[in-house]
Structure 1
Amino acid sequence: MQQTALEAKSAMAANPKRSKMLQRLRKDKYLFLLALPGLLYFLVYKYIPMLGTVIAFQEYSPFMGFAGSPWVGLKHFSTIFSEPEIIRVLWNTIVISFLQIAFAFPAPIVLALMLNEVRIEIYKRIIQTIVYMPHFLSWVVVVGIFVIFMRGEGLINNFLEVVFGIDKPVPFLTDQSLFRPLIIMQVLWKEVGWGTILFLAALAGINPDLYEASVMDGAGRWRRIWHISLPGIRSTIVILLILRLGHVLDSGFEHIFLMQNSFNKEISNVLDTYVYYKGIEQSNYSFATAVGLFKGIVGLVLVAGANKLAKRFGEEGVY
């Protein structure tokens, strides 16, 4: 037994990195146990399913399985760029994603700055609670509310008829030109409050002495926001923007699918819904997987590029 212990000590001495790792495991064993469920979640639901991306390079058949399905190489990836419809679908996806970045991304920043200026704590808590609540509603409920309000005989059309004398109902749900504004409006109403959490936390980390010193120097509220608050949360803004670029081809399947109808399908058909119709309904699993892998590669490239650009401008980035 003494010989075994001596062998273990000599092995640890020969490999100091392994020794440090074992010591850290013993020291922080309870912290690692707390992290274990999260690690298992990502392992089981995120990393192991990535093995299934192999069917993007096969003519996959559920009856033949992974091993029996014939290999077709990059056939499904070439299909993504060869079909005329896919160009319009990609354009719709990119337009909606960048509209969300342009309007829905800065909105929580503005709301967080406004809430940070509220000095009466009870009012601040009430407002926070009110704007957080829509986040916990599913898209089915959110879209259902908007449909009830905006349909032909809905509340808004009744209001327009009574107040402004508009006899003909406005086709909010079928007019193609109103589809994208409605999508952005719904995203703002549902998620803007929840998005303020990280920015409020970042604002809370700013040294209060900076605000006191600026008041002593005669700086007004707008100058304090511009020269103290915004620079204080700049790193948080950059990191979240980089991460958001990784989902630039994700428009939100459930949201778009619920708002889609035969009248607006020309501009509402995005990559997610296209995959559903072509890949799932027609059982073309390989094509659906190829599109998903393509989206992941594009997101990875955008995140890596944006991270490198952020570091070039002196920011920390995500890695």
Structure 2
Amino acid sequence: MKNAALKQYKKKKNYKLLLWLLPFLVFVVLFSYVPLFGWSIAFFQYTPGSSLSAENFVGLKYFRQFFMDTVDMWRVIKNTLIFAVLGLVTMPLPMIFAILLNEVPHKGFSKFVQSITTFPNFISWVIVYSLAFSLFSTEGVINSILMGMGIISKPTNVLSSTSAVYWFQTCLGIWKGLGWSSIVYLAAISGIPQELYEAASVDGAGRFQQMLHVTLPGIAETFIVLLLLSIGNFISVGFDQYFIFQNPVTLKRLEVLDLYVYRLGLINKSYSYSTAIGMIKSLISLVMIFGTNQLAKKIRGNSII
């Protein structure tokens, strides 16, 4: 009787948890799955305000146009791939930062550094642009200091420099997300048994050797999972940052795939073509996610999905 009552209690508790989860499931369905019905306009010569039944069915016309638009499309894909590769190359930085932060003996100071580095994640890209403009524009603080010290003879506007676009935007992204991205690694480090560090210390391992042989292997699996997920979202490099920082000089190098879809759909009003590009992008991301899932099975022995 006690076992039956315990099972009944657990069922009721699980139902309550499901009820708490229900609003979030409804939110996901409404904002992630219901809009997928809008993909149908990619197969029609769509005009806003009219029903699809009154529009001309064009089939795969806009999908073929995606592969035939060799001028703009390949430039946009090149920009997207460059930013994606730079993102993968700099991906170990939050892990390294978390390891170094964990080694700070004064926990109060480490908490302070963690808070300071996490704060930029919550700053809008509009505010980031204002800060960057006040620092790096022609009349910004950096140019004023360098000219005052006689290091440079004329100011350089980094925000309008085509040669600095890729590394400058990557550095801004690192500054904004370094502390926030390191949180998951700090959580993984906290889960490493302290007995491993004590055993390594008894064996004569110093702090650097403990980092190398205990901490790093302890969070390696976390890094692999995040790396594989990043590969799955390889062509989704973001929109807000590049939309805010674009200008007529840097647009050709800042226009990534998401920004290109926005320009086609909402500015040029090519709704059907932009929808087709969005579909292709989503399908490529889906293939890459399942591909990385299979890769995870071979590397880790189990999948991430």
1:199 to 163, 185, 188: 185
Secondary structure of 2:160's aligned partner: coil
Secondary structure of 1:313's aligned partner: helix
Does 1:56 pair with 2:45?
no
Does 1:286 pair with 2:266?
no
Q: How does 1:227-266 map to 2 (within 5 A)?
A: 227-266=213-252
Q: Normalised by the size of structure 1, how large is the TM-score?
A: 0.88
1:123 to 87, 102, 109: 109
Q: Partner residue of 1:95?
A: 82
Q: Partner residue of 1:142?
A: 128
Q: Normalised by the size of structure 2, how large is the TM-score?
A: 0.92
Q: Partner residue of 1:153?
A: 139
Q: Which has the larger radius of gyration?
A: 1
* CA deviation string 1:238-289 (max 9, x = no partner): 2211222232222221210111111122212221221122221121111111
Shift in Å at residue 228 of structure 1? Answer: 1.5
Shift in Å at residue 26 of structure 1? Answer: 3.5
Q: How does 1:207-226 map to 2 (within 5 A)?
A: 207-226=193-212
Paired residue type of 1:187: G
Residues 235, 316 of structure 1: 8 Å contact kept: no
Relative distance call for 1:150 and 1:165 in structure 2 (3 A) is: same
Relative distance call for 1:24 and 1:72 in structure 2 (3 A) is: farther
Relative distance call for 1:115 and 1:78 in structure 2 (3 A) is: same
Shift in Å at residue 210 of structure 1? Answer: 0.5
2:92 to 106, 120, 133: 106
Shift in Å at residue 158 of structure 1? Answer: 0.7
Mapped to 1, the partners of 2:53 and 2:9 lie a distance apart of 43
Secondary structure of 2:157's aligned partner: coil
Residues 296, 304 of structure 2: 8 Å contact kept: no
Q: Partner residue of 2:288?
A: 302
Q: Partner residue of 2:257?
A: 271
Mapped to 2, the partners of 1:125 and 1:266 lie a distance apart of 41
Shift in Å at residue 47 of structure 1? Answer: 1.1
Shift in Å at residue 24 of structure 1? Answer: 7.2
Q: Any unmatched runs of 5+ in structure 2?
A: 1-7
Paired residue type of 2:288: L
Mapped to 1, the partners of 2:116 and 2:82 lie a distance apart of 30
Paired residue type of 1:88: R
Residues 57, 75 of structure 1: 8 Å contact kept: yes
Relative distance call for 1:189 and 1:315 in structure 2 (3 A) is: farther
In the alignment of these two chains, the number of paired residues is 297
Q: Percent identity?
A: 35
Residues 231, 288 of structure 2: 8 Å contact kept: yes
CA RMSD of aligned residues (A): 1.7
Mapped to 1, the partners of 2:13 and 2:250 lie a distance apart of 59
Shift in Å at residue 237 of structure 1? Answer: 1.2
* CA deviation string 1:21-49 (max 9, x = no partner): x9975441111122122211111111111
